Structure 1
Amino acid sequence: MAETIVTPLRPKRPCPECGRPSQRATFPFCSPRCKDIDLNRWLSGAYAIPVRDEEEDEQETLPGESERS
């Protein structure tokens, strides 16, 4: 019989938290612990994209300079 080589569906990547090899059950993480650490960062807002308030934008315009519509 000829052996067939099975190509994995996902490339092997290191865990984004600790760098160890990822596991199938917790992909892309290596363990439930690393998965929970990442989830906690998302839920606590650590991964939030900073935004600027409209008030800050208005204050940055120079005095005497009119805003164009």
Structure 2
Amino acid sequence: MTCPICKRKADPAYRPFCSKRCADVDLAHWLSGSYAVPSQDPDDIEAAIDAIEEALQDIPRKQ
């Protein structure tokens, strides 16, 4: 396995990274927002709440 930051051989102590430095670089990418998980949610919280309420209305209720 190679380090995803610098492509050197991974060190078992820092796996999947080769060193603490590369692990810290990766963490900094996450904390700064350089990495992001894509989302289908609306940006506006009110729109998100409305979308959830609409989805809940479509679910049949047990009687």
Same structural fold, with TM-score higher than 0.5 when normalized by the shorter chain: yes
Structure 1 equivalent of residue 53 of structure 2: none
**Residue 19 in structure 1 maps to residue 7 in structure 2:** yes
Residue 30 of structure 2 aligns to which amino acid in structure 1? W
Q: Which structure dedicates a bigger proportion of its chain to helix? A: 2
- Using the alignment, how far apart are the partners of 1:18 and 1:26 within structure 2? 13
Structure 1 equivalent of residue 43 of structure 2: 53
Gaps of 5+ in 1: 1-12, 55-69
TM-score, normalising length from structure 2?
0.58
- Using the alignment, how far apart are the partners of 1:50 and 1:15 within structure 2? 23
Structure number with bigger Rg: 1
- Using the alignment, how far apart are the partners of 1:49 and 1:22 within structure 2? 24
TM-score, normalising length from structure 1?
0.53
Gaps of 5+ in 2: 45-63
The count of residues paired between Structure 1 and Structure 2 equals 42
Please give the residue correspondences for 1:32-43 in structure 2 after superposition, counting only pairs within 5 Å: 32-43=20-31
